[in-house]
């Protein structure tokens, strides 16, 4: 039943809706100017100057996209386009990204914000943007072919929804995904809580970065997009060590680190010197009863994790993926293990044929860190980086958490290396070394079992073609 009063209210709403539609067409005629950022440095937090207040995040080697408020709507303008990303000093990659960079800028909003995102496609092929993890109307989900027409080159689409759920999210194309994500198209999204939230703590430092992987042959600059598993550059925000900035905090700061994984494999993210808790996932804040302390947490493909801890130990603490091949830069993987092999004779013979032939790996691979072999242009050494005590022999997904008593509140600048208190650094033993002796004879825990020194394993393969029963 419709009363006269309701009828006028409905008419009023309808009139309002028409007016709003007319205004928004005008607004769209003057969509926000796209902001570009091509510097690979970590930009200071973008303190909100309009809309609801919040504590901004800091994107490692990245930045937050400025917005404008228009009639209560937060408007952003993303431009999908080819970019040149310096992955580390001396190595530039030709990637695809947003607004001058890969990954794209971080988008920060507040729970309950109405958000309007203009997406302009300057790629040579169609694209779309999927807002990974968000609650939104189905038609705003960004799956080309399923929920929308793909955004053709040169076209601009508008996405609009309310950021309903606070937490850690990301965005990426859902059109020719294999190519576009292999080329670096992705970005971070943080929705801050509107009020104090029982499961979301206030922190003094809030960092975020995406895990991405590339396969770029040494000496080249464009990723091989068909690679599924054998990537050679493991990056945080499309940066590789020593190109990843350190995470600089003040002693006793509460620190949050948000990580999203858009590679093809999982990454056990490991922090030295502190225990953290996983306080949030793509699904939202983790209940207190489901949190436990860790020093490593696995971030699987397509997942987000929020790590939180109190930085209460001063120093320079390594922070890295624990897959040791992910803390190295581009290299060949088809190299035989040469540890223990004395191939000096062979080298002499090969050197007559190939003057530049190099012995590799007979004492381990640490020599690679200071390898004197000339590298192709646009290539970063496999293992590199200098610390106060010499070579770090790292690459890829590696950085340092710098905890300092005198780091000013809110200051993210890079302090000098940690000054260790006297007597607190591992040191060389210079006394005599006793000869090794066998461990004392003790009964085995498996009393009565056969003597171990008589056991020998023999492997016999079944005769070809005839199964042995
Ligand atoms: Cu990894």
What pLDDT does 18 receive?
40
Shared domain check, 52 and 99: yes
Q: Note the pLDDT of residue 271.
A: 98
C-alpha distances (whole Å) from 48 to each of 54, 68, 118, 220, 364 are 7, 10, 20, 40, 51
220 and 248 assigned to the same domain = yes
| Residue 5 domain-assigned (yes or no) | no
**Residue range 32-47, pLDDT digits in tens:** 989 999 999 999 999 9
Q: For residue 3, is it within any domain?
A: no
List, for residues 163-221, the tens digit of each pLDDT value. 999 999 999 999 998 899 999 999 999 999 999 999 999 999 999 999 999 999 888 89
Task: Please report whether residue 399 resides in a domain.
Answer: yes
Are 231 and 276 part of one and the same domain?
A: yes
The CA 274 to ligand 1 mean position distance, Å, reads: 20
Contacts of 61 (CB under 8 A, 6+ apart): 40, 41, 42, 209, 236, 237, 238, 239, 243, 244, 245
Has residue 22 got a pLDDT over 50?
no
Q: Look at residue 48 in the predicted model and tell me its pLDDT.
A: 93
Closest Cα to residue 40, out of 106, 88, 109?
88
Residue where one domain finishes, among candidates 345, 362, 378: 378
Give the Å distance between the CA of 210 and the centre of ligand 1.
Answer: 12
In a domain, 444, yes or no: no
Same-domain pairing of 319 and 389: yes
Angle at CA 125, nearest 5°, toward 122 and 131? 75
Could you tell me the CA-to-CA distances from 295 to 12, 402, 407, 462 in Å, in that order?
A: 58, 16, 24, 46
Q: How confident is the model at residue 454 (pLDDT cuts 50, 70, 90)?
A: low
Domain final residue pick, 352, 378, 404: 378
Q: How close is the Cα of 94 to the center of ligand 1, in Å? A: 22
Q: What is the pLDDT of residue 452?
A: 56
Q: 401 and 354: one domain?
A: no
Q: Which domain holds residue 338?
A: 334-378
- 330 C-alpha to ligand 1 centroid (Å): 14
Does 23 score more than 50 pLDDT?
no
For ligand 1, the distance from its centroid to the CA atom of residue 309, given in whole angstroms, is: 21
In a domain, residue 139? The reply is yes
List, for residues 124-179, the tens digit of each pLDDT value: 999 999 999 999 999 999 999 999 999 999 999 999 999 999 999 999 999 998 89
Confidence category of residue 449, pLDDT binned at 50, 70, 90: low
234 CA → ligand 1 middle, Å: 7
Q: How far is the CA of 324 from the centre of ligand 1 (A)?
A: 8
CA distance linking residue 228 with residue 181, whole number of Å: 12
pLDDT tens digits, 245-287: 999 999 999 999 999 999 999 999 999 999 999 999 999 999 9
Q: pLDDT by residue (tens digit) across 286-312? A: 999 999 999 999 999 999 999 999 999
CB atoms within 10 A of CB 291: 16
Q: Are residues 230 and 366 in the same domain?
A: no
pLDDT at 321 (0 to 100): 95
- On whether both 141 and 182 belong to a single domain, the answer is yes
The answer to whether residue 353 is domain-embedded is: yes
Tell me if 426 is assigned to some domain.
no
CA 345 to chain centre: 45
CA of 245 to the centre of ligand 1 (A): 17
- Distance of CA 235 from the midpoint of ligand 1 (Å): 9
Distance 371 CA to ligand 1 centre (A): 24
User: Which range has the worst mean pLDDT, 155-159, 310-314, 332-336, 380-384?
Assistant: 332-336
Compute, in angstroms, the gap from residue 323 CA to the centroid of ligand 1. 5
| Same domain? 280 vs 311 | yes
Instruction: List pLDDT tens digits, range 62-90.
Output: 999 999 999 999 999 999 999 999 999 98
- For the beta carbon of residue 214, count every other beta carbon within 10 angstroms: 26
Going from the Cα of 87 to the center of ligand 1, the distance in angstroms, rounded, reads 17
Q: Residues with Cβ < 8 Å from 275, sequence gap 6 or more?
A: 293, 294, 295, 309
Most confident range, picked from 114-118, 217-221, 392-396: 114-118
**Pair (239, 357) in one structural domain:** no
Residue that the structure tokens 């008593």 belong to: 405
Return the pLDDT at 369. 58
Closest CA to 71 of 160, 146, 1: 160
Confidence check: pLDDT of 349 > 90: no
Residue 407 token pair: 């780091």
| Bond before 155 cis per omega within 30 degrees | no
CA distances from 332 to 67, 217, 225, 233 (A): 44, 9, 18, 12
Distance 101 CA to ligand 1 centre (A): 22
**pLDDT score for 361:** 61
415 and 354 within one domain:
no
In a domain, 443, yes or no: no
- The residue from 378, 402, 436 where one domain ends is 378
Asked if 222 and 324 sit in the same domain, the reply is yes
Report how far ligand 1's centroid is from the alpha carbon of 270 (Å): 10
CB contact at 8 A, 223 and 263: no
Can you give the pLDDT at residue 378?
Answer: 81
Q: Pick the residue with more confidence: 352 or 155?
A: 155
Indicate whether 350 pLDDT > 50. yes
Regarding whether 257 and 356 lie in a shared domain, the answer is no
Burial 335-356 (b: 16+ CB within 10 A, else e): eeeeeeeeeeeeeeeeeeeeee
Please give the model's pTM, rounded to 2 decimal places: 0.82
pLDDT attached to residue 331: 62
As for how many domains the chain has, the answer is 2
CATH of the domain at 308: 2.60.40.420
What is the distance of C-alpha 424 from the center of its chain?
Answer: 32
Share of the chain above pLDDT 90, in %: 67
CA of 227 to the centre of ligand 1 (A): 16
- The rounded Å distance from CA 399 to ligand 1 centre is 13
Three-class SS string for 61-88?
CCCECCCEEECCEEEEEEEEEEEEEEEE
Neighbours of ion ligand 1 (CB under 5 A): 267, 321, 323, 326
């Amino acid at each position: 039943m419709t009363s006269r009063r309701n009828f006028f209210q409905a008419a009023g709403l309808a009139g309002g809706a028409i007016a709003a539609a007319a205004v928004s067409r005008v607004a769209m005629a003057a969509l926000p100017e796209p902001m570009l950022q091509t510097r690979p440095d970590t930009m200071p937090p973008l303190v909100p100057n309009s809309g609801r207040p919040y504590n901004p995040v800091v994107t490692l080697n990245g930045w937050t996209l400025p917005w404008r408020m228009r009639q209560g709507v937060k408007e952003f303008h993303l431009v999908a386009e080819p970019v040149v990303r310096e992955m580390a000093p001396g190595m530039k990659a030709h990637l695809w990204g947003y607004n001058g960079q890969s990954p794209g800028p971080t988008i920060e909003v507040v729970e309950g914000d109405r958000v309007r995102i203009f997406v302009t496609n300057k790629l040579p092929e169609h694209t779309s943007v999927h807002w990974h993890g968000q609650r939104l109307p189905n038609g705003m989900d960004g799956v080309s072919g399923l929920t929308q027409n793909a955004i053709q080159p040169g076209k601009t689409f508008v996405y609009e929804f309310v950021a309903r759920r606070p937490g850690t999210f990301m965005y990426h194309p859902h059109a020719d995904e294999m190519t576009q994500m292999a080329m670096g198209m992705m970005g971070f999204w943080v929705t801050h809580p509107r009020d104090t939230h029982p499961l979301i703590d206030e922190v003094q430092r809030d960092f975020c970065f995406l895990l991405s992987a590339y396969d770029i042959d040494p000496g080249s600059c464009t990723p091989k997009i068909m690679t599924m598993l054998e990537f050679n550059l493991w990056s945080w925000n499309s940066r590789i060590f020593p190109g990843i900035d350190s995470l600089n905090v003040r002693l006793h700061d509460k620190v949050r680190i948000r990580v999203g994984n858009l590679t093809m494999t999982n990454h056990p993210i490991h922090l030295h010197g502190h225990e953290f808790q996983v306080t949030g996932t793509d699904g939202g804040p983790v209940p207190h009863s489901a949190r436990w302390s860790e020093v490593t947490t696995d971030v699987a493909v397509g997942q987000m994790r929020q790590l939180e801890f109190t930085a209460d130990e001063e120093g320079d603490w390594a922070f890295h993926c624990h897959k040791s091949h992910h803390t190295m830069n581009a290299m060949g993987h088809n190299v035989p293990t040469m540890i223990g092999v004395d191939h000096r004779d062979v080298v002499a013979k090969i050197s007559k044929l190939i003057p530049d032939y190099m012995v590799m790996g007979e004492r381990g691979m640490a020599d690679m860190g200071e390898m004197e072999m000339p590298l192709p242009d646009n290539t970063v050494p496999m293992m590199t980086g200098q610390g106060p005590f010499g070579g770090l022999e790292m690459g890829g997904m590696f950085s340092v958490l710098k905890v300092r008593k005198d780091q000013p509140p809110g200051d993210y600048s890079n302090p000098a290396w940690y000054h260790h208190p006297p007597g607190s650094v591992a040191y060389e033993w210079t006394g005599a070394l006793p000869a090794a002796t066998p461990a004392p004879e003790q009964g085995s825990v498996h009393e009565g079992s056969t003597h171990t020194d008589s056991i020998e394993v023999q492997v016999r393969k079944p005769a070809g073609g005839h199964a042995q029963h």
